[in-house]
Each structure stands twice: as C-alpha cells, then as structure tokens.
C-alpha cells in the first residue's frame, strides 16, 4: 500500500478545500471499497480526507413522501428505514441484496455511489487496465469477462458498475446533491454516471473537488409498485450477473408508467429507456413486457462468454414486470 496522509474534515467546505488542494486526494467514507483497492494497489491516493464524522447521516422525509438521504447514512440504516421499506421497497431490497451485513454496517450511501468496478483486471494492479491505468489496454475483452458488460461498452473498457443501490436510485429518478468550490448544485443520477467511451478511467461526471452530500428521491405515485431483483452465482454476498430495479404503474390494465434500470450489464446503471417508451399505453401483459425488453436488448453486444446475459435479462425483466403488474392489479 502506498503511503498516504490522513485528515478528518471538520465540515463539507473544509473537505472541498482539502480535495481542491490535492489532485490525488480521496474521500474516505466507510472505506469498504477504497481501502481494499488501496491494499491491492488499484487505488493510490496521496491523502485520505475522512468525511465519515460529518453530520451527513440523516434521512429526512418530506410531507409528500419524498426523501432526502445524507451521503453518510450507512447502507444498513437506509435499508431498514421504515419509510424506505414501506414506500421504496425497490431501494430497500437493492441495498439488502448487496455485500454482507458487516459491510453494509460500514458502507455509506455516498461511498456506494462511487464503488469501482469488480473487473478482475482492474483490481489486479500487475495487469493492464484502461480504467486503472489509461492507455494500458483492456485484457477483459479477450479474457475473463463472464460478468462484464453487454450494453454500452467500448473498445476500451467492458467493465460493469457494481452497485445495487445505484440501480434502484436510477429507477427512482434520484437526484444527487453536490457541493464544490463554487457552491452547491444538483445532478440527476442518470447524468452522474458515464459510459466507458474513450475515458473509462472516469466513472462519473463529478469534479475531483466536488462532494456528494446527499441524495433526494422524489415520491413515487401512490399507485406505483416497485421491486428489485438480483441474479447472482450464490444466494448472498455476490455481485449481480444481472439485476433489475423496476417501477410500474398500471391503470385500467394499461401501463401508465414504467421505469426499468438494469444492473450488472453496463458501465453504469442502465436505464432501459427504449423499453420504457415502448411500454407506455400498452396492456400490462407478459407479451408486451417481453417485446419491450427485446427492443432494448437489440443494442446488446455480448462478448464471448457473457452472451447468457441477453436471455437472462430478457427473462428477468419480463417476469419481474409481470409480477409487478399482477401485484398492481391486486392492490
């Protein structure tokens, strides 16, 4: 592990200032991903700015049911919050499906958004990786890529985003609250993440000297139902081969709102916009769901060993939406 300095920020402005003064500084939340990567040499910050003691660990509920979640809230606290459990089951389930109980106790919401890929080449600093070491190449394309991207990948990187929570937040149209040197602003979560493109080393559109302080989550319509379903190689403590966060509103048998975000298939939580558009106004039936996701999956470009994700996502989304439609009728 490269030697680094450590400082605890006294407030958000202090953290921003410290970030701005060191281009190789990194923020420390729960440390569940960053510290691992530092031990592996995959991350080599010169200084750590600890923001875990800042008062960012609050969940506020508005009168309309919308939520504001501080960046320092632990994954465990978010998942078990009564409002999250009752009104945003998609979020609660997504968070609970990730990592282990011990890790969720330590991990923070802000840190979760900035988890780095689990691509085995990224994590092994003795091998090339365009994301870790720009220009060094991407051995995953010809190598070990069973759990990597089928959508939106580039010739430079086929990594997937590992977070479950971010997939749910994408389906919930969450907004990320950011503070930088020039003040505070907001960014829809869909604009936070980037596709790999030519610069796979850049995961997000946030500046080095900016901090996510919290997330706001708009209220779901009363009639909407939501769920998160994750497919993985063992029953717990495994990253998604594919996952879906779905929000569905059905009125008189017709889809009036469908929000579908996919995990484990792209460089970012993948909002299935094509499928969503196709579903609006259609009968909330199995066939329609299947046709819609098939349209979305036309863009899929699987690699040698991950072609199974195409039928997997097709079945997963079709059945998840079918189940939601069934529940919607029962409500």
Partner 1 sequence: MSTTSIGQPIQRTESTSKVTGAARYAAEQHNKTAPAYCCYVPATIPTGRVVDVQTEDSVTLLWHSNAEKLGELEDTELAVLQSDRVSYRGQIVAAVIADSFETARDAAARVRVSYADEAKPDNELSAEHPSLFAPESVNAGFPTDVTVGDPGSALESAVHAVDRWYSTPPMHNSPMEPHATTAQWSDGVLTVWDSTQAPSGVQDDLATLFGVDPSNVRVVAENVGGGFGAKGSTRPNAVLAVMAARATGRTVKLALPRQALFDLVGYRTPTLSHVQLGADADGTLTALAHDTFQQTSQIFEFCEQTAESSRHIYAAPNRRTTHRLAVLDVPTPRWMRAPGEAPGMFAVETAIDELSYTIGIDPIELRIRNEPDVDPASGNLFSSRSVVECLREGAERFGWADRDPRPGHRREGRKLIGSGVATASYPVLISPSSASARIEADGSITVSVAASDIGTGARTVLRQIAADALAVSADRVELKLGDSALPTAPGAGGSSGTSSWGWAVTKACRQLVDKVGGIDAAIGPAEVTAETSEEIDGQKDLARMAFGAQFAEVEVDVDTGEVRVRRMLGVFGIGRVMNPRLARSQLIGGMTFGLGMALMGAGNTDLEFGGFSNHDLAEYHVPVCADVTDVEAMWVEEEDDELSPMGGKGIGEIGTVGSPAAIGNAVYHATGVRVRDLPITLDKVLPHL
Interface residue list for partner 1 (CB under 8 A): 1-3, 41, 118, 120-121, 123-124, 126-127, 139, 142-144, 146, 231-239, 241, 305, 308, 311-312, 315-316, 318-319
Residue among 255 and 310 whose Cβ is closer to partner 1: 310
Q: For the chain, how are helix, strand and coil distributed in percent, rounded to 5? A: 30, 25, 45
State how far Cα 107 lies from the chain centre. 14
Distance CA 171, CA 148 (A): 21
Radius of gyration of the chain measured on its C-alpha atoms: 20
Residue among 142 and 252 whose Cβ is closer to partner 1: 142
Measured from the CB of residue 224, what is the shortest distance to partner 1 in angstroms?
23
DSSP state letters, 226-258? EEEEEE-SSSSS---SEEEEEEEEEETTEEEEE
Measured from the CB of residue 178, what is the shortest distance to partner 1 in angstroms?
30
Residue among 100 and 205 whose Cβ is closer to partner 1: 100
Count Cβ atoms below 10 Å from residue 106 Cβ, excluding itself.
17
Q: What is the 3-state secondary structure (H, E, C) of 152-177?
A: CCECCECCCCCCCHHHHHHHCCCEEE
Residue among 87 and 104 whose Cβ is closer to partner 1: 104
Residue among 125 and 204 whose Cβ is closer to partner 1: 125
Q: Which helix (H) or strand (E) holds 187?
A: strand 183-188
Q: Please give the structure tokens belonging to residue 87.
A: 């009104």
Distance CA 247, CA 215 (A): 18
* Residues paired with 59 in a beta bridge: 69
Number of helices (H) and strands (E), helices first, in the chain? 13, 12
Measured from the CB of residue 281, what is the shortest distance to partner 1 in angstroms?
26
Measured from the CB of residue 124, what is the shortest distance to partner 1 in angstroms?
8
Measured from the CB of residue 127, what is the shortest distance to partner 1 in angstroms?
6
Measured from the CB of residue 96, what is the shortest distance to partner 1 in angstroms?
12
Residue among 83 and 238 whose Cβ is closer to partner 1: 238
State how far Cα 275 lies from the chain centre. 19
Measured from the CB of residue 36, what is the shortest distance to partner 1 in angstroms?
9
Distance CA 162, CA 115 (A): 7
Distance CA 276, CA 12 (A): 38
Residue among 106 and 312 whose Cβ is closer to partner 1: 312
Measured from the CB of residue 140, what is the shortest distance to partner 1 in angstroms?
9
Residue among 253 and 311 whose Cβ is closer to partner 1: 311
Distance CA 128, CA 139 (A): 7
Residue among 18 and 309 whose Cβ is closer to partner 1: 309
Measured from the CB of residue 80, what is the shortest distance to partner 1 in angstroms?
18
Distance CA 178, CA 326 (A): 39
């Amino acid at each position: 592990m490269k030697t680094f300095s450590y400082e605890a920020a006294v407030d958000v402005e202090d953290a921003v200032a410290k970030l701005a003064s060191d281009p190789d500084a990194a923020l420390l939340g729960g440390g569940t991903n960053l510290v691992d990567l530092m031990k592996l040499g995959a991350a080599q910050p010169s200084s750590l700015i600890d923001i875990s003691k800042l008062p960012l660990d609050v969940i506020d509920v508005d009168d309309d049911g919308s939520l504001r979640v501080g960046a320092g809230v632990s994954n465990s606290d978010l998942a078990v919050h009564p409002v999250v459990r009752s009104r945003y089951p998609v979020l609660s389930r997504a968070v609970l499906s990730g990592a282990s109980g011990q890790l969720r106790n330590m991990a923070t919401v802000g840190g979760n958004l900035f988890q780095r890929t689990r691509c085995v080449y990224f994590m092994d600093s003795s091998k090339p990786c365009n994301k870790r070491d720009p220009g060094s190449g991407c051995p995953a394309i010809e190598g070990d890529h069973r759990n990597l991207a089928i959508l939106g990948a580039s010739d430079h990187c086929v990594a997937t985003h590992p977070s479950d929570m971010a997939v749910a937040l994408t389906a919930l149209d969450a907004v990320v609250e950011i503070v930088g040197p020039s003040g505070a602003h907001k960014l829809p979560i869909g604009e936070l993440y980037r596709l790999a493109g030519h610069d796979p080393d850049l995961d997000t559109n946030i500046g080095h000297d900016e901090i996510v302080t919290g997330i706001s989550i708009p209220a779901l319509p009363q009639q909407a139902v939501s769920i998160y379903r994750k497919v993985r190689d063992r029953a717990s403590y495994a990253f998604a081969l594919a996952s879906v966060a779905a929000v569905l509103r059905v009125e008189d048998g017709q889809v009036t709102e469908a929000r579908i975000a996919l995990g484990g298939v792209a460089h970012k939580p993948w909002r299935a916009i094509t499928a969503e558009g196709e579903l609006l106004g259609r009968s909330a039936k199995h066939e329609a769901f299947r046709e819609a996701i098939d349209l979305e999956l036309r863009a899929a470009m699987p690699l040698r060993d991950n072609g199974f994700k195409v039928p997997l996502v097709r079945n997963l989304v079709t059945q998840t939406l079918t189940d939601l439609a069934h529940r919607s009728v029962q409500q």
